[in-house]
Amino acid sequence: MKRIHQIATSIVFINLVVIVQAKAQDLQRGEKIFEACASCHSLIKEEQSTVGPSLFGIFGRKAGAQDDYRYSPAMKKSGITWNKQTLNNFLTDPQKLIPANRMPFDGIPNLKDRNDLTAFMQVKFK
């Protein structure tokens, strides 16, 4: 009986290690994907790009509400509060979700890429 318990514990531990490694890989992928975003956006609170707004603290913030950036009227009027789902929807096709926004970006069609990117962004802000 003790042997069965040891085997079961080992299996659970191995599964947890695999899950943690998979999450780490997803975050690494997300960071790699963000490199394309970094040409226009920063993840640093005080750093403002000349192209796009800083994405620091985006989760829970209303779209178009950052004081130190000039957003399009469409973004300001969108009524969106950024969370993982709304950001995921926006990144799928920015012009479809918020027509006439100023972001010159076609979107990220791959769901896993979007999930990895938003997971990285969430962790980066904690």
At 15, list the tokens: 């599964």
Q: What is the mean pLDDT of the chain?
A: 84
Can you give the pLDDT at residue 4? 63
| Residue positions counted in the chain | 126
Q: Per CATH, the architecture of 2-124 is what?
A: Orthogonal Bundle (1.10)
For residue 37, what are the CA distances in angstroms to 12, 21, 30, 88, 105? 37, 25, 11, 14, 10
> Model's pTM, two decimal places?
0.76
Q: Is pLDDT at 85 greater than 60 in this prediction?
A: yes
Can you give the pLDDT at residue 20? 46
